[in-house]
Chains A and B, each alone.
Chain A
Amino acid sequence: MTTLTHSWFMTTRHLRNLARQPWWIAITLVQPVIWLLLFGAVFKATADIPGFAADSYIDYLTPGIVVMTAAFAGGWAGMGVIEDLNRGVIDRFLVSPVARQALISGRLTQLGIVSLIQSLIVITLGLLAGAHFPGGATGLAVLVVASALLGASLGALSNGMALLARKEETVIAASNFILLPLTFLSSAFMQRNLVPGWIQSVARYNPVEWTVQAGREALTATPDWSLVLSRLGLLVALTVACTWLATRAFHTYQRAV
Chain B
Amino acid sequence: MQTSATIEARDLTKTYKDVRALDGLGFAVEAGTVFGLLGPNGAGKSTTVKILTTLTRPDSGQASVAGVDVLRHPDRVRRAIGLVAQRSGVDLEATGRENLTLQGQVYGLRGAELRSRVEELLERFGLAEAADRVDRGYSGGMQRRLDIAMGLIHRPQVLFLDEPTTGLDPEVRADMWAEIAHLSGAEGLTILLTTHYLEEADRLAGRLAIVDRGRVVAEGSPDELKGQLRGDAIQVELGDPEPDGRAHAALDRVPGIWEVTIEGRSLRARTGNGSAVVPSVLQALEAGGLRVASVTIARPSLDDVYLRHTGRSLARTEEKA
Contact = CB atoms under 8 A, between A and B. Distances in A.
Nearest to B153: A96
Interface in A237-257: 254-257
B91 A13 contact: yes
Given A17-B93, A257-B56, A95 B106 contact: no
Nearest to A85: B87
Interface string A69-90: 0000000000000001001110
Interface size class of B (residues with CB under 8 A): 20 to 34
Contacts of A256: 16, 56
A92 B89 contact: yes
A84 B90 CA distance: 9
A9 interface: yes
A89 B55 contact: no
Contacts of A97: 75, 78-79, 106-108
A16 interface: yes
Contacts of B94: 13, 16-17
B107 A87 contact: no
Interface size class of A (residues with CB under 8 A): 20 to 34
Most chain B beta carbons < 10 A, residue from A84, A89, A92, A93: A92
Given A88-B85, A88-B89, A257 B78 contact: no
A88 B163 CA distance: 14
A91 interface: yes
Q: Summarize A's interface: helix, strand, loop or mixed.
A: helix
A20 to B, nearest CB: 6
Contacts of A257: 50, 55-56
A94 B94 CA distance: 19
Given A95-B81, A95-B83, A97-B78, A89 B107 contact: no
A98 interface: yes
B190 interface: no
A88 B103 CA distance: 14
Interface in A127-175: none
A156 to B, nearest CB: 21
Contact of B102 (A9, A87, A91): A9
B93 A96 contact: no
Given A20-B93, A89-B91, A96-B106, A254 B57 contact: yes
A101 B101 CA distance: 20
A89 B83 CA distance: 12
A130 to B, nearest CB: 40
Contacts of B23: none
A6 interface: yes
Nearest to B91: A89
B69 interface: no
A174 to B, nearest CB: 22
A93 B87 CA distance: 13
Nearest to B108: A97
A16 B91 CA distance: 12
Contacts of B53: 95
Most chain B beta carbons < 10 A, residue from A9, A16, A84, A88: A88
Contacts of A20: 93, 134
B85 A92 contact: yes
Most chain B beta carbons < 10 A, residue from A17, A88, A95, A254: A95
B92 interface: yes
Contacts of A16: 93-94, 98
Contacts of A254: 55-57
B103 A96 contact: yes
B89 A91 contact: yes
Nearest to A12: B102
A91 B93 contact: no
Contacts of A255: 56-57
Most chain B beta carbons < 10 A, residue from A87, A94, A96, A255: A96
A135 B278 CA distance: 98
Contacts of B55: 91, 94-95, 254, 257
B184 interface: no
B266 interface: no
Contacts of B16: 256
B88 interface: yes
A88 B88 contact: yes
Given A88-B85, A91-B85, A97-B78, 6 more contacts: A6-B106, A9-B105, A13-B94, A87-B90, A87-B92, A98-B106
6 contacts: A88-B88, A91-B55, A91-B85, A95-B53, A96-B78, A97-B106
Interface of A: 6, 9, 13, 16-17, 20-21, 84, 87-89, 91-98, 254-257
Interface of B: 16, 50, 53-57, 75, 78-79, 81, 83, 85, 87-94, 98, 102-103, 105-108, 134, 150
